[in-house]
Amino acid sequence: MAFYGTSAGFITYTEARGKTVLAAWVTAVIEAALLLSSEWLDDQYNLVWTGFPTDGFTQARKWPRTAASTNRYPSHVFLNTDIPDNVVKAVYEAAFRELTEPGVLRKDFTSSKYTKVSISGAMSVEYDNSLTASNVQVQIPVIYSLMQPLLDETSQGDFSPYSGGLSRV
C-alpha cells in the first residue's frame, strides 16, 4: 500500500495531541485509514500544490514532487524525493477523523437531496443554498492550515477552508 506516514507515526502524533487511540485500531486498520486519507488529500490538493509528481502520472501518490517549494518567506525548496511533514500530519488528521467517523471523508453529493422547497400559500418558495458538492463536503481547517504553505498561489485554483474550491474566472 502506498500512503503517507506510518501506523506508529499516526499513534505518536495522535496521542501527543491528547486524542485517544482505540485498542481496536490495530496496524491494519490504521494503515487502511492512512491509505484512504492519503487518497483524499491527493484528490483535494493535487491541482494546487506547487511542483508536479516526480514520476508523473503513474506515481501512486502525488508526493514526492519535482520543483515543489513553500510559498512563504524564507522559501524552502523540496528535493524530488521529499514528502513534507505537513502532508504527513494532514494525513494523520484526516485518518483520525476517518477512524472516529467512518466515511466522513467520502460523503456523496446529490444536489436534489439538498434542495428544500417550502410552499406557504400560493407564492412562497424557499431553496437551500447547497447547490454544489463543496457546500456539503467535509471541511477540516487544521488540514487547510497545514497545506497552505505548499499551495501554488499562481495556479488556476485555491481552496477556502469554509467554502471549498475557488477558481479564477
- pLDDT at residue 139, rounded to an integer: 73
Domain boundaries, the chain: 7-106+138-167, 108-136
Low-confidence ranges of the chain (pLDDT < 70): 1, 108-138, 155-169
Q: What are phi and psi of 69, to 5 degrees?
A: -150, 170
- pLDDT at residue 123, rounded to an integer: 55
**153 CB-near residues (< 8 Å, 6+ apart):** 71
Residue type, 100: T
- pLDDT at residue 167, rounded to an integer: 44
- pLDDT at residue 165, rounded to an integer: 46
Burial class (CB in 10 A: 0-12, 13-18, 19+), 165: middle
Which residues are 166's β-sheet partners?
A: 158
